[in-house]
Structure 1
């Protein structure tokens, strides 16, 4: 019984073949060039390692008013991202300030879920009020 040789290709080799395919070479040309036996091997590598659709250039055709709308929306996204970044910085600054005050003054300023707040009446006070009615 004759043993069948199994060929294992390195990931770097596969990626190189995919790069050449994406640059315009056909799967058949690459199979011949590198001696790749399997008929669908290159296709599988392209699916696994390639950038889908990168072999073809994407052309977007838009009306002038669509282009203006896209540009306006892109600017709005930039504004919102900037506002979000500023809000996150403000939050970090305030958290740091609270931690500093807590450490220096020895008091707890952060909300504790489940504990009554200072301006919230206790359960005892609530019962007392209900009894008066």
Structure 2
């Protein structure tokens, strides 16, 4: 057994980190045993390596390389459907709000044009489109 060597964070090579993760995930070592073997001071250091380099799915608390049961797949899909339905409802609400705003703004502009007898909406003039055609022909 190797003698304990106090280390700093800078001392840990990527190779060492991957070796520690491999040994823990294969069941050769516990996190505590890996700390002792490699002179790692904090358990959180090892846990960070496991999160960063390991194959464990921390969101769902399952190893990512383990096949999911049909029940798990169905539950995941149901959760996705619920999320998508919620997002769809929110987007439909936002579209309805935007449509209402558009109608109100259009009414306000019409009212302002009528009340103050000034043209607010810009109408594109036919000569504008022909002038750009002439410019492109000249080039």
Q: TM-score, normalised by structure 1?
A: 0.42
Q: Determine which structure has the larger helix proportion and give its number.
A: 2
Q: TM-score, normalised by structure 2?
A: 0.40
Structure with larger RCO (C-alpha < 8 A, sep 6+): 1
